Structures are given as structure tokens and as C-alpha cells.
Amino acid sequence: MNDGSAVAAVAQRTPSVKGALASLSLAMLLSSLGTSIANVGLPSLTQAFSASFQQVQWVVIAYLLAITTLIVSVGRLGDLVGRRRLLLCGIALFTFASALCGLAPNLGLLIAARALQGLGAAVMMTLTIAFVGETVAKGKTGGAMGLLGTMSAIGTAMGPALGGVLIGEFGWRSMFLVCVPLGLSTWLLAQRYLPGDRPAATGRTGFDSLGTLLLALFRDTRLSGSLAMSLLVTSVMMTTLLVGPFYLSQTLGLTTVEIGLVLSVGPLVAALTGVPAGRLVDRCGAPGMTLVGLLGMAFGCMMLSVVPETFGVSGYLAPMVVVTLGYALFQTANNTAVMLDVPADQRGVVSGLLNLSRNLGLVTGASAMGAVFALASKAVDIGTAHPQAIASGLRTTFLVALGLIVIACLIAWRRQADAR
């Protein structure tokens, strides 16, 4: 009977590199989709619940805050109890919460369900990166990171486009319910192909050493520099998702479907260049490619800060393509530089730190940079602001974003100089 159970277990779980990477890629896509799909639906939610922009903004912020508060402890928990087991639980939680979002009868319950969805996303974001180290050979780490970066970009690209189409055809609930079958498929794939959990390292049986470990990690100037750059860069990327819909709708007069398609172009370009970026990092080295990616982002932000609205959609798209190309290269190079220097038993917590910095940046972009946009637009209610005011707010916001990228460039340059 025991032999029969063992045979059944082997039949149900068949670890393979390609299958594992496929499941990790889908998990990364889902967590990114959850971040971006709600942005295009904010105007619809204000109408559906008769709520203000500040109220429905919590549909985005609750998701990001849930990720941010849990992401480091999730990485450590994965190191202790098993990454495979925890990742499967995270995918299941994300899927269940997606169904709750789609069925929410009021805004308060929707926000609560989004927070629960964010908890599942925290597990997926952290452990997908941590799993790379035990799934692929060291010489192919950059390529695997590039693949995950591509899937993250695809998820970000799919969100606005898919959300816009679904809202137009079936209403706002459909943009959450679509994640349910995707989540189920991801869980089944991960359950079959992910390798089994390794025994926890001896002497690390609790969270008591986490604080000491974090302090030791933050003493590493290369790691702390990478985390700071990640925070600055992702705050700029979240700004594009938050500010873009209002500029495209109120200044350029685009429909919801058109807005979704326009917002998807930049991330789609990043998705197509993620794997080549990984190969470039493997060939040329992560530190140099980190700086090149940041310089590309700086140039794109500078273009957005001066472009006049008379240039129309093309005047918005061209700089956005430059920004997202730079982001794709930066993200792959920065993640690779960090994970190659980390011992195997610390990959979970360091992956959590990377995602913590990323999500702190997303929260900053959704809140602080959103406030910059509102102040620069000089409007009491963004939803009723004059088109020229929105355009002025966009230019000022991306001028501030340019300053953030310049700071990140200085960190990268200093780190590269120290390495010499």
C-alpha cells in the first residue's frame, strides 16, 4: 500500500526544468496582472460605487500594501517550511481572493478581498525568484531572470488591455474573475512540475534569526544599493500606470478600450525584450547593464516631461517605449547581480527583500507620485480637471520621476566605481 502511494505521488509530481519554469512564469504573470488590471478599471469603479478617486484608489493600494507588509517574512518562511508547499498555498489564496473580488457587493469588501489577493501575490512574487537558483544552472540564471522579467512585463501589459476589453463587454467584475481559471491552471502546473522541498538548514528553525540576518544583509552595500535602485525605479513605473489613464482619457479623449491598448504597448515591448536582456546580462555583466538600463529610463522620463499634448498618442507612446525598454534591462541586470551573490539558504529572504523594495516603490508611485500629479494639476478633483491641467500635471510628475532615476544612476555609478 505504501509502494502504491509512492508510485501515485511520483505520477502526480514530475519535476522538470521546463515545467518548473513554466509554472514559475505563470505565477509571476498572475501577480503582475493583479497589479495592473485594476488601474484601468478605476474610472468604472468610481461610477459603479458612486465613490471618489481617493476612495477607489485603495483598490490598488490595498493590494500593494498587503504585498509589502508580508513579502520579507514570506521569503523567510519559504526557506524554513518549504518553498514548494508555500508557493502552492499562495497560488490557491490568490485564486480564491480573485473570486471574492469579482463577487464583492460593495467597495469595502472589494478592498478587503484585494488585500487578501495581495497576500497570495506576495508569496508568488517572492518564491518565483527564489526558485530560480535551484531550478536552473548558475550560468543560465540571467536568462531565467529575463524570462521572469518577460512574464512580469506580459502580466503588466495584459492588465490594461484585458481589463479594458472585459470592462467594456462584461463589466468591472470580469477583470477579477478572469484570474480564477488562470490561477487554477497555474496551481496544477506547479503541483506537477516544481521540485520537492529540501530540508531546512540546521540551526534555522524559527524567525528569531531573521532580524540578525537582515541587518547583516543590509551591511552589504551592493545589496542595499540594489534595493534602493529597485524602489526608485518601480515608483516611476507605477506612476506611468496611475497617471497615464487620466492623461489619455481627459487630455487625449481616448475610450477605456483604447486606453488599455495604449497602456499595454510599453510593457509588451519590455516582454519581447526580457529574454534578450537576460542574455545580454549574461554576456556583458550585470553592473554595466544596470547603468545602461537606468540611462534609458532617464531619457524616456525627460521626453515625457517636455512633450506637448499636441503630439497626441504618439507623443506619449514613444517615450513610454524608451522607459520600459530601460526598465526591462535594469530589472534583469539588478536581480541577477543580487541573486548570484546570495548563499542558497538565504535566497528566499533576499528575494523577499527585492520584492519588498519593488512594492515599496509601487506604493510610493501610487500614493506620493499620485499626490504630485494632483498638486501639479492644480485640481480639487482629478476626474473633472481641465485637459491642459492634466497635461501640465503629467509633465511635472515625470520631471520628478526623472530626478528619482538620476539618483538611481548615481547609486549604480558609485557601486560600479567601488567594484573597480
- The grid coordinates of residue 195 equal 521540485
In a domain, residue 414? The reply is: yes
Residue 58: which domain range?
A: 15-192+213-419
Residue 344: name the closest of 247, 173, 199 by CA.
199
What is the C-alpha separation between 420 and 416, in angstroms, rounded?
Answer: 7
- Give residue 96's identity as a one-letter amino acid code: F
Number of domains forming the structure of the chain: 1
Long-range contacts of 95-101 (CB under 8 A, 24+ apart): 95/120, 95/179, 95/180, 95/183, 95/184, 95/187, 96/120, 98/34, 98/176, 98/177, 98/179, 98/180, 98/183, 99/176, 99/177, 99/180, 101/173, 101/176, 101/177
Specify whether the CB–CB gap between 23 and 194 falls below 8 A: yes
What is the C-alpha separation between 27 and 131, in angstroms, rounded?
Answer: 12
In a domain, residue 305? The reply is: yes
Mean pLDDT by 10 residues, the chain (420 residues): 45 62 87 84 83 81 86 74 86 96 93 94 83 66 73 78 85 92 91 71 48 52 81 88 82 83 79 79 82 92 81 87 89 80 66 77 82 79 75 89 93 73
CB atoms near residue 268 (< 10 Å):
19
In a domain, residue 201? The reply is: no
In a domain, residue 2? The reply is: no
CA 304, 364, 179, 71 torsion-angle sign: positive
- Where b means 16+ CB within 10 Å and e means fewer, 312-339 reads eeeebbbbbbbbbbbbbbbbbbbbbbbb
- CATH number at 81 reads 1.20.1250.20
In a domain, residue 202? The reply is: no
Task: Tabulate helix, strand, coil % of the chain (nearest 5).
Answer: 85, 0, 15
Among all chains, which residue has been given the C-alpha cell 544596470? 290
In a domain, residue 297? The reply is: yes
In a domain, residue 285? The reply is: yes
Residue 207, pLDDT score: 47
Among all chains, which residue has been given the C-alpha cell 518562511? 77
Runs of H (alpha helix) within 247-346: 256-284, 286-306, 312-340
CB atoms near residue 167 (< 10 Å):
23
In a domain, residue 5? The reply is: no
Residue 342, pLDDT score: 67
Torsion angle, alpha carbons of 25, 30, 32, 33, to 10: 130
Cα distances from 286 to residues 223, 235, 332, 356, 416, in angstroms, run 13, 21, 8, 21, 10
What is the C-alpha separation between 35 and 161, in angstroms, rounded?
Answer: 13
Specify whether the CB–CB gap between 31 and 125 falls below 8 A: yes
Residue 125: name the closest of 35, 4, 203 by CA.
35
Spell out the residues 6+ positions from residue 91 whose beta carbon is closer than 8 angstroms to its own.
27, 30, 120, 123, 124, 183, 186, 187, 190
Residue 10, pLDDT score: 40
Q: Is the pTM of this model over 0.75?
A: no
